[in-house]
Amino acid sequence: MTKSVLYRVGLPTLVGISIIGLWQLMSALGAINPIMIPSPWDISVGFSELVTRGYFWQATWVTLQETLYGFAIGVSLGLIIGALTGTFPMFRTAIYPFVIAFQNTPRVALAPIFLTWFGFGITSKVVMAAVICFFPVVINTVAGMASVGDNAKMLFRSLGASRAQMFFRLTLPGASAVAFAGIKTALTLALLGAIVAEFVGGSVGLGVLIKELNFQLEVAKGFAVVLFLAVIGLVLYGLIELLERFLITWKHD
C-alpha cells in the first residue's frame, strides 16, 4: 500500500521537479527567451505578486462562479435531455440528430453571439460554459442508458416492475457510471468555456486578466495565471472524482 502510494505520487512528483529544474537551468543559461517563456522562478515571483492584489481574487471568484453556474446548468439540462432521449424513442428520433449536429459544430464560435445577446457581464460566460459542457453529459447519459442490458430489463419485467421502478431502480443506477464520465468531462469544459467567453469580451475574470497581462508584456504573470487555472481545474476534477466515489460505490477497478 505504502509502496504503491509512494510510486503513484513519488514518480510524477520526481518527473515534475525534473522538468521545472531543467526549465530553470535552461532559462538561467539563456537558452530560452524570457519574453517567450519566462523562467519558473519569474513565474513564481509574478504569482506571489498577484496573490497580494485584490483584483486577482476578484477575477478568480468571477471565473469560478461562471464555471460552476455554467456547469450546474449544462449538467442539469444534459441529464434531463439525455434521460428523455434514452427513455422515449420518439424524443430521440426528433431531437437527437440536432444534438449530434450541434455537437459537431465548434461551439466556441458562439461566444461572440452570446456576448451580443447577453452582454459583457457574467451571463454570457455562464451560457457559454453551459453550452460547451452540455453535450458530453447528454451523449454519455444516452450511452449509459443504452448500456443497461436486455437481460436486466427482462428480469425487471419478469418481476413486474412498473415504468417508474424500471427507471429508478435499473436505468438510473445502471446509466450513472457512464453518465458521470460525461459530467467529469463537462467540468473541465465548463472552465474552458468561461475562459474563452472572457477572452472574447469581459471586464473581470482570469481570462480577462491573462489577456491584459499579455498586452502589458507581463508574460511571467500571464503564465502564473494559466498555471493557477490548471490548479483550479485539477482541484475541481479532484472534487468531482470524490463525489463519484461517494455516489458510484460499485465502480471498481
Partner 1 sequence: MSVNYNNTAAGETISLAAVSKTYMTAKGPLPVLRDIDLEVKAGEFVSFVGPSGCGKSTLLKIIAGLVSYDTGNVSVGGEAPREGREDIGFMLQQSVLMPWLNVSKNVELPFAISGRRDGNTAKRVADLLELVSLTPVAKLNPWELSGGMQQRVALARALALDPGIMLMDEPFSALDEFKREFLNIEVAQMADKLGKTTLLVTHSIGEAVLMSDRIIALGANPGRVVGDIKVDLERPRRADMVGSDRYQQLSNEVRAALASDLEGEKQ
Interface with partner 1 (CB under 8 A) = 149, 151-152, 154-161, 165, 169-170, 173-174, 248-250, 252
Quote the CA–CA distance of 241 and 76 in Å, as a whole number. 18
Cβ–Cβ contacts within 10 Å for residue 89, how many? Answer: 10
Quote the CA–CA distance of 139 and 11 in Å, as a whole number. 35
Residue 127's closest CA among 198, 37, 30?
198
| Minimum CB distance to partner 1 smaller for 171 or for 188 | 171
CB of 195 to partner 1, least distance (A): 36
| Minimum CB distance to partner 1 smaller for 122 or for 170 | 170
CB of 79 to partner 1, least distance (A): 18
Quote the CA–CA distance of 163 and 186 in Å, as a whole number. 29
Cα-atom radius of gyration of the chain, to the nearest Å? 22
CB of 169 to partner 1, least distance (A): 7
Q: How far is CA 210 from the centre of its chain?
A: 19
CB of 246 to partner 1, least distance (A): 13
CB of 159 to partner 1, least distance (A): 5
Maximum pairwise Cα distance, the chain: 75
| Minimum CB distance to partner 1 smaller for 80 or for 159 | 159
| Minimum CB distance to partner 1 smaller for 116 or for 249 | 249
| Minimum CB distance to partner 1 smaller for 105 or for 249 | 249
| Minimum CB distance to partner 1 smaller for 8 or for 251 | 251
| Minimum CB distance to partner 1 smaller for 9 or for 146 | 146
CB of 168 to partner 1, least distance (A): 11
Which residue bears the cell 468531482? 240
What single string gives the DSSP state of each residue in 65-122? HHHHHHHHHHHHHHHHHHHHHHH-HHHHHHHHHHHHHHHTS-GGGGHHHHHHHH-SSH
CB of 176 to partner 1, least distance (A): 8
Quote the CA–CA distance of 82 and 93 in Å, as a whole number. 13
What single string gives the DSSP state of each residue in 137-154? HHHHHHHHHHTS-HHHHH
